[in-house]
Structure 1
C-alpha cells in the first residue's frame, strides 16, 4: 500500500485529490496539510511514501518545502501540483530534485499516473513541462534564464512574504529573525533579481509564480 500526504491550502482541492487517489486500491491518503510547515510536521509524524504538494502554499512555499524534504527525507517522493508552468519555476523544481510535476489544467488522472510512476522509481512530468525540460537541456546553458535558481531557501521565503505585503518587522516575527536581517535579505534579493526598487520584487514574485494573484 502506497501512503500519500496531500498538501494544498484549499480544502476542496484536498478532498478532490483524496477521492481521486483513494479510488486506487493500492493508494492510501495518510495525512493532509494546508501549508508548508504543516507538511514538514506531518511527514515527521506519518512517514508517507509520496507527498503531493501544491507549489503555492502559505507560511512555507512549495519550492521551499520541497527543498526541506529533499534534505531531511530523501526517500520521500515529491510530486508538485501547480497552475504554474513558467520555465523558472519548473527549472527550480527540477534543480531541487522533484520527482514529478503536474499542471492543474491537465487531466485529473495525471496525478494518479504521477504518483504511480514515482512510487515505481520513475518520474512524471506533464507533457508541456517535459518539453520545457528537454528544451532546457538542448539550449546553451548561458541562455537559460533562471532568476529563482540563484535564491536561497530563506531568500525565497522573504520574497514571498514581501510580495504578500508584510513589513520587515512582520516578516522578522514570522521567520524568527531580526528586521535588520530581513532588510539584508531584501537587498540581496534586489541584487540577484536585477531590480532597483523593492516594489519591483512583487512583480517578479507574481511573474514567476511565487504568489498567486
Structure 2
C-alpha cells in the first residue's frame, strides 16, 4: 500500500474549506488540517508538515501570498498549490514569485483539483489552462537581463525547460517531442545541474523569471 498524500486546506470561508477537505478525504487523501487565516496556516503547517498546502489568497488582513512566502522559506518538503477565485495574472505572478508550485482557479472541477493535488505532490507545476502563458508573458515584458546572461542551455534543453514551465510531465514532454522518457529526464537533470537548481518547481520558476515563452 502506498502512503496517501497529506494535504492541508487553507481558506477563510468555512463551508468551502470544509467541503474541499471532505471531498479530498473521500478521494483517499490524508487531510491533516485546515486553517482560515495566514497566521494559522503557517503555524499549523509547520506542525503537521503536509505534502501539499491548498492555499487561498484572500485570507483577510494578511494575504495568502505572505503565508506562501513563509512556508516556502521554512518547509522545504511542502509544496503550495493556490486555489483562488481570482484568475488575474498579477495574482498568479505574485503567488509564483512567493514560492507557489501551481495555481488553480476555484471554477476547476473536482477531478481537476484531485489531479492538480496529486501532480503537485509529485513535483510538477500545475496551472489552470492559460495562466502559465499569462505569467510567462508578464515576466517576458519585465525581463531586463541581456540575452547572453546566465548558463548556456542547448536548444533541446531550452525546449524541455519551456514545457516543464507549462506544467507538462516528463512523459507528456516525451510524447510532444517524440523522445524517450529517459532522454527527457536526462535533459531535465542536465538543465538542473547547469542552472544549479534542485527540482522541477525551481526549474519552472527559473523559466518564468527569465521570460521564456511557451511556444514549442
CA distance in 2 between counterparts of 1:108 and 1:130 reads 20
Aligned counterpart for 1:118 among listed residues 117, 120, 142: 120
Judge conservation of contact 1:79–1:101 (CA < 8 Å) in 2. yes
1:3 is aligned to 2:21:
no
Judge conservation of contact 1:37–1:59 (CA < 8 Å) in 2. no
Unpaired runs of at least 5, structure 1: 143-213
Counterpart residue number, 1:32: 34
CA distance in 2 between counterparts of 1:106 and 1:128 reads 13
Judge conservation of contact 1:113–1:124 (CA < 8 Å) in 2. no
CA distance in 1 between counterparts of 2:97 and 2:132 reads 14
Unpaired runs of at least 5, structure 2: 145-216
- Structure 1 residue 74: deviation in Å? 2.2
Alignment of 1:45-56 (within 5 A): 45-56=47-58
- Structure 1 residue 75: deviation in Å? 1.7
Counterpart residue number, 2:107: 105
Q: Once the two structures are superposed, what CA deviation does each residue of 1:98-126 show, in whole Å capped at 9, x if it has no partner?
A: 11111012323222111101111111110
- Structure 1 residue 141: deviation in Å? 2.8
- Structure 1 residue 52: deviation in Å? 0.4
CA distance in 2 between counterparts of 1:61 and 1:139 reads 26
Alignment of 1:1-213 (within 5 A): 1-25=4-28, 27-136=29-138, 138-139=140-141, 141=143
Secondary structure in 1 aligned to 2:99?
A: coil
- Structure 1 residue 44: deviation in Å? 2.1
Secondary structure in 2 aligned to 1:52?
A: strand
CA distance in 2 between counterparts of 1:42 and 1:138 reads 36
CA distance in 1 between counterparts of 2:87 and 2:123 reads 24
Secondary structure in 2 aligned to 1:127?
A: coil
CA distance in 2 between counterparts of 1:57 and 1:116 reads 24
| TM-score normalized with structure 2 length | 0.61
| TM-score normalized with structure 1 length | 0.62
CA distance in 2 between counterparts of 1:50 and 1:95 reads 18
RMSD value, Cα: 1.7
Judge conservation of contact 2:10–2:37 (CA < 8 Å) in 1. yes
CA distance in 1 between counterparts of 2:90 and 2:104 reads 15
CA distance in 1 between counterparts of 2:68 and 2:139 reads 22
Secondary structure in 2 aligned to 1:5?
A: strand
